[in-house]
Amino acid sequence: MNFNSSLLILVFCALSQINYGQYKINFADITIEQATQRANIENKPIFVDTYAKWCKPCKKMDIVFQDQKLAKFINKNFISVKIDMDKDYGKIVSSKYQIAFLPTLLVLDQNGNTKYKIDRLATANELLSIAELTVNGFIVSKQEEEIPKEIFNQTSQSAKSADSDEKILYVLSPDAENLPPEILFQEAYFRMELMDGSHRATAEKYIQTQDDWFEEKNIKFIFDFLYDTNTKTFDFFIENKSLFDQIVGKENADYSLQILINNRLFNGIPRPDLEEASYLYSLTDPIDYEHKAYQYYLSRSYEEGNEEFLSTARTYLEQKDKYNQDIVLNFCNACLDSNKAKADLALCSQSIEEIDDPEKNYNYYATIAQLNYILIEKDDALKAANLAIELAKKENTDFSNMSQLLVKIKML
């Protein structure tokens, strides 16, 4: 391969990278109310991404939003808005659109009404299909003959399908009132297949018509539509878990319970506090739930920079488990970052020394080095810093901060 060929390949690769980076969904820094004004002027629907800085799946969606075909279509046909759910306005959006998990993506009409809602990770192809269906105005729904005529005439909408036989399909309006329970029952399952989020409201309407939730039909229905741990149906599920075990199978019931708990703990909004975390962990581990709840809450609080971390961690270390290495190190690092008094730092140093069989990794030695540097314990600081650097070299990780600290230690 000659020089010119190599140069052409390098240029092509560089242009490919630049070209890829050019495509992304353009989110306007506006509220949904402002978006509806623009949507009415431009005659476009609205695409909403709800997120939070702590939400790891949300970061994965940011990569999906860079898909070329998706970004081009959304930017051409939608007004796009990105909402930080940790801010005050996010709480308003959460309440209005019943957002319980992140990421949640919304497709709204020009007046801000929900046309589609998805509260999980989605692929670029899936979102593109939803966007195309929204723009084309296609609605998937029930056959006319499946709906009583008197109900259909008052509550239904119609649209031509993409099928070759050009059937006319119908869907009951989600705002329809006084519908017979059996229609609501069927409609809930039908809307579940649509995957637009509307099935939950219909399921809630059905279950409210039922005086006896203990009927096998209703037990199965409640199980199929379990969604959030903060609901009456979930409370009923927990209170009658043995009955659900008999009817749907213990393995299925246990699996769904674990999924619901994990979804609430790691994707739920607002974030669960320590009390709620303790309750959720107690449902699957009645013995060790308190320690699990503390570890979950403290790990999350530390990552988010929560002001309550220091006081909660201190309580945990003093009253629960002073040998938990991760919490001890996080507590010490938080003390270092907040410039706590030497008395607190001395407590950190003592806590580290008392850890039973510590995992002597880079973070372990780096924390000890920083603590002893501030406490002017030069020899101990030097030893820990050198060990941290030695481990970092073996693991091929960055140790520039520790090298800078080493210089400062030598100057003590």
The structure tokens listed for 175 are 């705002």
Q: Torsion angle, CA of 277/279/284/286, rounded to 10 degrees?
A: 120
The structure tokens listed for 43 are 């005659």
Closest CA to 271 of 239, 322, 308, 245: 308
One-character DSSP codes across 139-159: ---EEGGGS-HHHHHHHEEEE
pLDDT, averaged in runs of 10, over the chain (412 residues): 51 46 87 97 97 94 96 97 96 94 95 91 94 75 41 39 38 64 93 81 95 98 97 98 98 98 96 97 97 95 89 90 89 82 74 86 92 90 95 92 94 90
The structure tokens listed for 407 are 């210089």
The structure tokens listed for 152 are 């259909």
> Sheet containing 156-160: which strands, arranged edge to edge?
142-143, 168-172, 156-160
d(CA 232, CA 203): 12
Omega before residue 45 within 30° of 0, cis? no
Q: Torsion angle, CA of 280/54/371/357, rounded to 10 degrees?
A: 40
**What pLDDT does 168 receive?**
33
Give the 3-state secondary structure of residue 361.
coil
User: What does DSSP say about strands 104-108 and 168-172: parallel, antiparallel, or unpaired?
Assistant: unpaired
Give yes or no for a contact between 126 and 109, defined as CB atoms under 8 angstroms apart. Answer: no
Total-model pTM: 0.78
Query: Which of 1.10.287.3510, 3.20.20.140, 3.40.30.10, 3.50.50.60 would CATH assign to domain 3-136?
Result: 3.40.30.10
